[in-house]
Amino acid sequence: MSVNPKIVIVGCGISGIAAAQRLVSSGFNNVRIVEATGRSGGRIKTGRLGNNIVEIGANWIHGPSEENPVFCLARNYGLLDTEALDPVNQSVDIAGHPPWVPNVFSSSGQKLNAEDIYPAQDMFVELLYESSEFQNQGGEPWASVGDFIWSEVPKRAAEKWKDVDGATRSLRMRVINNLLKAECCVNGTHSMDELGLGAYGLYKTLPGLDCTFPSGYESLIKKLLSELPNGLVTYNRPVRCVCWNNSEQKEKPVTVECDDDERISADHVIVTVPLGYLKKHYSTLFHPPLPLHKLHSIQRLGFGTNNKIFVEFDSPWWDADCEVIYLLWEDEDALVSEIQDVQRFWIKKLFGFTVLKPTERYGHVLCGWIAGHESEYMETLSEQEVTHTVTQLIRRFTGNPTITPKRVLRSQWFHEPWTCGSYSHPGKGCSAQDLENMMEPLPTKGSQSQPLQVLFAGEATHPCYFSTVHGALLSGWREADRLIAHYSKSKL
Ligand code: 6YU
């Protein structure tokens, strides 16, 4: 057993950086991060739209309160504004934020009364809450959250809305369809039918009103990196294969092979690549291959696409207090399972826009949200095509043929080769065991070989905060602590 073990971390997203920071601050000085791209941060990526900062990846600190390590770090580094630091903000426990103030438009070019959407919104929120409860009850009647919602909406509508007229009922169904699209964005899934009902409740929220970084999420990455020794990260060095259980090399049982043929011998490797990348490359990334139970969990867990389309205007066409703009399609007054003809109608999957606030900081910028295969198709179009389609959409829904965006910028997470999508969700048939399997180090328990050769971190390995920055950060610390505990035990 080496006294100064060589530890290689694959990936310089927040989980890789967190692992390195914890190891280095505990006295491990033979640590190296190998990153495929030319930058740090991975899915934390701050960009610019004209003079404005925009978040291409992660947006919010979800649940900014004492239990959230991202909030604590950001506060300690002085990266948050006074509102986020207000203790009242931290104590509000409503899973994110109160319902946004909406402006609602229909595809016939009318602005609707915001109150008209509330009954459908209430029913939808109730159904999501019930979806998260199944796990605790020890059994679920449907395989997916989508199946559950689809079976319940007609029953509850018939019961609760029996006295409302046909037009109102149709409007409410359009709202449900819209909220389903929005929920696909939240969960990073193509359809709610892909989200396992039994595992939906595994995701846990923290108290605190979601907040943002005034200078961009990447300001956190910069601060964390500034505390690591110079030269610890090697950029533009994709890892091709992690060869473990290396019988020829007793001292260093793992070899990390890079695309440029560099071979790095190590005692331990912490793999933090996204689940999307793992799903695509598991067969070549590990030698010997991953154990079957781990592979099956990689396949069962979902990893979908959620993209943003930022649109800047010279002046707002929405109300001053508006926080979200919902777009309701007239023809979606029955539950819509799939958008037909994705190439022509991909834009129908965009549920609407959130308004970037405060205006003094961001200007008149909207963020459109689109998930799933339609989002993946959008990525293949030119920027001009996306701009044209979004302009037509806004003109149609507002009934104003002169509205013209100043600038448009979209994310392309599915075609990002080292990410292959946006974030993870529990797929159909998933359970807590799958997340346990994701984080299980190699070789697995009971093997005679040197332990803890390959460890796994990253958002998709956190048992209840998967899909978030705080989940990723905690997973990096967890794997660093595993090694620290291992060496402190072996010293005794
Ligand atoms: C959050 C939010 N948020 C929006 C969008 C996205 C994400 N998230 P990384 O990928 O960062 O790092 C891996 C590195 O590995 C990377 O640098 C690669 O280049 C490198 N690599 C890969 N292959 C390699 C190889 N072969 N060799 C070497 N290097 C290699 N999270 O807290 N707040 O607002 C959002 C959002 C559009 C894309 C988000 C948000 C997710 C986070 O960004 C993400 O989890 C972490 O940054 C991941 O860090 P990492 O280190 O693990 O990987 C049931 C139920 C579910 C309910 N879900 C609730 C949804 C909550 C999530 N909300 C998201 C919403 C937004 C808007």
The pLDDT tens digits of the residues spanning 241-251 come to 999 998 766 68
CA Rg value for the chain: 24
Q: Which atom of ligand 1 lies closest to the CA of 16?
A: 51
Instruction: State the distance from the centre of ligand 1 to the C-alpha of 469, rounded, in angstroms.
Output: 7
The residue type of 286 is: F
Q: Is any ligand 1 atom within 6 A of the Cβ of residue 425?
A: yes
**Rounded mean pLDDT of the chain?**
95
Nearest CA to ligand 1 atom 47: 43
Instruction: State the distance from the centre of ligand 1 to the C-alpha of 374, rounded, in angstroms.
Output: 20
Phi and psi based region of residue 467 (left: phi greater than 0; alpha: psi -120 to 50; beta: remaining): left
Q: Is any ligand 1 atom within 6 A of the Cβ of residue 291?
A: no
Nearest CA to ligand 1 atom 3: 58
| 393-407 residue pLDDT tens | 999 999 999 999 999
Residue whose token pair is 């950060």: 473
How far CA 390 is from CA of 135, 221, 317, 376, 403, in Å, comes to: 40, 32, 14, 16, 11
pLDDT at 91: 82
CB atoms closer than 10 angstroms to residue 76: 10
Instruction: State the distance from the centre of ligand 1 to the C-alpha of 43, rounded, in angstroms.
Output: 4
Instruction: State the distance from the centre of ligand 1 to the C-alpha of 213, rounded, in angstroms.
Output: 16
pLDDT at 492: 45
pLDDT at 248: 65
Q: What value of ipTM does the predicted structure carry?
A: 0.97
Write out residues in the chain with pLDDT < 50, as ranges. Answer: 1, 492
pTM: 0.97
Enumerate the β-bridge partners of residue 106: 328
Q: Is any ligand 1 atom within 6 A of the Cβ of residue 272?
A: yes
Enumerate the β-bridge partners of residue 47: 54
pLDDT at 339: 86
Residue 385 burial (CB < 10 Å; 0-12/13-18/19+)? exposed
Instruction: State the distance from the centre of ligand 1 to the C-alpha of 14, rounded, in angstroms.
Output: 8
pLDDT at 338: 86
Instruction: State the distance from the centre of ligand 1 to the C-alpha of 238, rounded, in angstroms.
Output: 18
Q: Is any ligand 1 atom within 6 A of the Cβ of residue 144?
A: no
Q: Is any ligand 1 atom within 6 A of the Cβ of residue 354?
A: no
Q: Is any ligand 1 atom within 6 A of the Cβ of residue 31?
A: no
Instruction: State the distance from the centre of ligand 1 to the C-alpha of 7, rounded, in angstroms.
Output: 23
To test the ligand 1 pocket, which listed residue (34, 270, 273, 324) has its Cβ within 8 A of the most ligand atoms? 273
User: Which string of b and e fits 188-211 if b means at least 16 CB within 10 Å?
Assistant: bbbbbbbbbbbbbbbbebbbbbbb
Residue whose token pair is 């509102």: 83
pLDDT at 1: 42
Instruction: State the distance from the centre of ligand 1 to the C-alpha of 279, rounded, in angstroms.
Output: 15
Q: Is any ligand 1 atom within 6 A of the Cβ of residue 187?
A: yes
Residue whose token pair is 């399972």: 337
Instruction: State the distance from the centre of ligand 1 to the C-alpha of 69, rounded, in angstroms.
Output: 16
Q: Is any ligand 1 atom within 6 A of the Cβ of residue 142?
A: no
